[in-house]
Every structure is written in C-alpha cells, then in structure tokens.
C-alpha cells in the first residue's frame, strides 16, 4: 500500500511482545490511514488485545515501535493518550454512578467544560438508547453496560478510536444499533481500529482487514480483496457421522472442474467437508447432480453459503475462527 506520510494515522513497525517464552505479538507491521475503519480479525488468543494494549501505551513492546499520529508509543505516551479513545473488551465503568455521570466524568477528565459535557453526554446516550436512566450503572444489563462503555470512549471526540470486541454479548437488536453508530462514525474524520473475531462484523464494517493468527499478520486487504484472493465464490458444507463417507464424497469431487478446493474439519463426533466452488447456484445444482451423496449411510447436515472471511481464515490456517 503506497500512501503519503501525512495520511497515515498509525504506522506499526515490526512490533513484538513476549511473555516469557510466549510470543503474543510476533513482528507485526501495518499502516492505517486517517479516517479508515481498519479491522484486525482473528480468533481469541491470536494477539489482538495485546497489540492494541501496546498501541494505547498500556504495554511496552519487547521490540519494534509504532507511531500514533506522529508520536512514538515508546516516547510519546503523554501526547498519544490525549488523542485516543478506547472501548476495551472488559467492561470498564463506574458502577456506583449513573449513565450520565459516567460519561460526564470522562468528558471533564479530558478537559471538556461541564456544560458542554452535559449536552454531549445526553445526545450520545440518546443515540444509544440509554439516556434518562436514574439507576446506578451496576444494575444495567451487560449489553447496556457495553453501550455505555462505547459512549465513554467517544465523548471527548478522539482522533483514533480502538474498539475491542465492541458487540460481544449484545443481543441482535443492540448489535445492529452499535453497527449503525460505527457506520455513522465513518462519515467523520475519526480513525477506527476494530478488533474482532466476528467475520460478519469485520466484513460489514471494514474498509480494510488484517487477519492475525498466532501473533502474526497472515493476510491484509479489503474484505473483497481477501475473499477474491484466498476464498472462492461459494461453499457447500456437508457433515457426516462416518469418516469413510466423507472420504467417498471427497473422491467424487476430485475431477470436477469448477471445484476450487476442499477442507476437512473434525469436531467431536461430526466430520465436515467444506467444498469451495465457483459458478454460483447453477454449479451447486450440477454438483448435487453428480450423485454426491449416493451410497452414503447418513448425512448429518448439509448447507450452502456464499464465500466469507470465515472461508478466508479457514483456507489460510486450516481452522475456523472459533475453533
């Protein structure tokens, strides 16, 4: 990616973090443009949170450096913390304060005049559907506390916003509300770093995505670029109770021209074959007409889906994001 230096919000250079013998982050280098929503997608334990804790100056790197709007995370901590907002994976609120009091306190701590803090708090809380609550925030549901956490990170209008699993634990309605608000932020100049293991979330919201696994970046690009390069058009997923039935189907597809590849996944008693192929529904019909599941004792489940970032991760690592 070739971009001018002035347009870079975050420049990560060979960043590493080791905990004794464990390499939590192992030589990550990335550039994030100003105003971009950049997702770091990977399973739990891949190094996402450790990476963001270094970028927000909470952890000191073992090696490497990163510049946040021109300030080194090694020497410019005081300047960086003034420019960033963080919504951590762990909910961080003052439980004996009400929603408005939590947000106003955060705004005033960042130097906002009290009157302005009140007005902005009320407006943001209304957008998230939690304005006017008079009970202490410790009595809020987990989803409501997570939305409050997001408002607290946004109230002082940071230049860069770090979101670590911002919709974890939310019901579908609250999740869509947060998604819509994040999309609205893309119309501003704020730079957003989204850490997630939810491939649908990354696909729906991101300008670009970096996939991280075992502390390393293994792929980077727009969601469309990643799916075109590492995925295929569609996938047929068939689950069997017997490994020999899976092998029988796998042998049948070896010489079918429009089949790109196949992957096997074993989970407890279930044996699953994922057949990636090109040509859409028309070729799905052709695939099934090959007598694909004839002579099979028992097919436990069969489903068709379009290619996704889940398939990208599977093709790159041989594992699902949630394994």
Alpha carbons 40 and 172: distance in angstroms, whole number: 22
Question: Quick one: pLDDT band at residue 4, thresholds 50, 70, 90?
Answer: low
Q: Is the pLDDT of residue 2 over 60?
A: no
Which whole-number Å values give the CA distances from 78 to 34, 57, 160, 187, 258, in the listed order? 20, 9, 15, 28, 56
**What size, in residues, is the chain?**
323
Q: Is the pLDDT of residue 258 over 90?
A: no
Q: Hey, is 118 helix, strand or coil?
A: helix
Identify whether residues 132 and 273 lie together within a single domain. Answer: no
Percent of the chain with pLDDT over 70: 96
What average pLDDT does this structure show over 264-291? 82
Residue of higher predicted confidence among 270 and 45: 45
Which tokens belong to 222? 């727009």
Residues contacting 172, CB < 8 A, separation 6+: none
Identify whether residues 64 and 208 lie together within a single domain. Answer: yes
Identify whether residues 135 and 164 lie together within a single domain. Answer: yes
Identify whether residues 266 and 151 lie together within a single domain. Answer: no
Assigned domain for 313 exists? no
Identify whether residues 76 and 174 lie together within a single domain. Answer: yes
Assigned domain for 315 exists? no
Assigned domain for 202 exists? yes
Place of tokens 């000191």: 60
Question: Which residue, 100, 93, 106, is CA-closest to 145?
Answer: 93
Rg from Cα positions in the chain: 23
Question: Quick one: pLDDT band at residue 1, thresholds 50, 70, 90?
Answer: very low
Question: Quick one: pLDDT band at residue 18, thresholds 50, 70, 90?
Answer: very high
Assigned domain for 320 exists? no
Among residues 228, 245, 263, the one where a domain terminates is 228
Alpha carbons 41 and 48: distance in angstroms, whole number: 8
Alpha carbons 9 and 209: distance in angstroms, whole number: 16
Assigned domain for 312 exists? no
Residue 227: its pLDDT value, please? 86
What average pLDDT does this structure show over 11-23? 95
Assigned domain for 316 exists? no
Among residues 174, 201, 228, the one where a domain terminates is 228
Percent of the chain with pLDDT over 90: 39
- pLDDT tens digits, one per residue of 126-182: 888 888 888 888 888 888 888 898 899 988 889 999 999 888 878 888 888 888 888
Q: Is the pLDDT of residue 25 over 90?
A: yes
Identify whether residues 134 and 250 lie together within a single domain. Answer: no
Residue 90: its pLDDT value, please? 82
Residue of higher predicted confidence among 265 and 56: 56
Contact (CB, 8 A) for 102 and 118: no
Bridge-based pairing state of the strands 37-41 and 208-213:
parallel
What average pLDDT does this structure show over 90-110? 88
Identify whether residues 149 and 277 lie together within a single domain. Answer: no
Place of tokens 């041989």: 318
Assigned domain for 123 exists? yes
Per-residue DSSP letter, 139:
G
E runs forming strands in the chain: 8-19, 22-33, 37-41, 63-68, 71-72, 84-87, 160-164, 191-196, 208-213, 216-221, 234-240, 259-267, 270-277, 299-306
Number of domains in the chain: 2
Q: Hey, is 287 helix, strand or coil?
A: helix
Identify whether residues 162 and 293 lie together within a single domain. Answer: no
The mean predicted confidence, pLDDT, of the chain is 88
Alpha carbons 195 and 310: distance in angstroms, whole number: 15
Identify whether residues 273 and 210 lie together within a single domain. Answer: no
Domain that holds residue 277: 232-306
Identify whether residues 91 and 122 lie together within a single domain. Answer: yes
- pLDDT tens digits, one per residue of 200-253: 899 999 999 999 999 999 999 999 899 888 876 688 899 988 888 889 889 888
Question: Quick one: pLDDT band at residue 76, thresholds 50, 70, 90?
Answer: very high
Identify whether residues 138 and 24 lie together within a single domain. Answer: yes
Residue 73: its pLDDT value, please? 97
Among residues 206, 228, 250, the one where a domain terminates is 228
Residue 281: its pLDDT value, please? 76
Supply the CATH number for residue 237's domain: 3.30.70.260
Assigned domain for 321 exists? no
Supply the CATH number for residue 43's domain: 3.40.50.300
Can you spell out the DSSP letters for 200-247? HHHHHH-SEEEEEETTEEEEEE-HHHHHHHH--SEEEEEEES-HHHHH
Identify whether residues 256 and 275 lie together within a single domain. Answer: yes
- pLDDT tens digits, one per residue of 41-75: 998 889 999 999 999 999 999 999 999 999 999 99
């Amino acid at each position: 990616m070739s971009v001018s230096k002035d347009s870079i919000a975050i420049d990560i250079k060979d960043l590493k973090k080791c905990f004794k013998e464990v390499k939590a982050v192992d030589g990550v280098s990335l550039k994030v443009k100003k105003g971009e929503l950049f997702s770091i997608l990977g399973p739990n334990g891949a190094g996402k949170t450790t990476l963001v804790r270094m970028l927000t100056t909470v952890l000191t790197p073992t090696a490497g450096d990163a510049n946040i709007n021109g300030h080194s995370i090694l020497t410019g901590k005081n300047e960086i913390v003034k420019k960033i907002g963080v919504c951590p994976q762990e909910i961080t609120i003052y439980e004996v304060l009400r929603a408005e009091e939590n947000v106003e306190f955060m705004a005033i701590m960042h130097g906002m005049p009290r009157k302005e803090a009140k007005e902005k708090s009320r407006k943001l809380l209304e957008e998230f559907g939690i304005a006017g609550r008079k009970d202490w925030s410790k009595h809020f549901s987990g989803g409501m506390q997570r939305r409050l956490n997001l408002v607290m990170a946004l109230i002082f209008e940071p230049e860069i916003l770090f979101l670590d699993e911002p919709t974890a634990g939310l019901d579908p309605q609250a999740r869509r509300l947060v998604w819509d608000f994040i999309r609205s932020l893309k119309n501003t100049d704020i730079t957003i770093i989204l850490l997630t293991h939810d491939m649908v979330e990354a696909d729906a919201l991101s300008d670009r995505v970096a996939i991280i696994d075992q502390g390393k970046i293994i792929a980077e690009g727009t969601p469309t670029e990643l799916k075109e390069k590492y995925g295929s058009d569609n996938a047929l997923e068939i689950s069997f109770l017997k490994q020999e039935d899976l092998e029988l189907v796998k042998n049948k597809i070896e010489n079918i021209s429009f089949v790109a590849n196949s992957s096997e996944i074993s989970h407890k008693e279930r044996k699953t074959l994922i057949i990636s192929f090109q040509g859409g529904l028309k070729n799905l019909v052709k695939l099934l007409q090959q007598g694909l599941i004839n002579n099979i004792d028992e097919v436990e489940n069969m489903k068709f889906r379009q290619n996704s970032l889940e398939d990208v991760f599977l093709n790159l690592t041989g594992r699902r994001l949630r394994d």
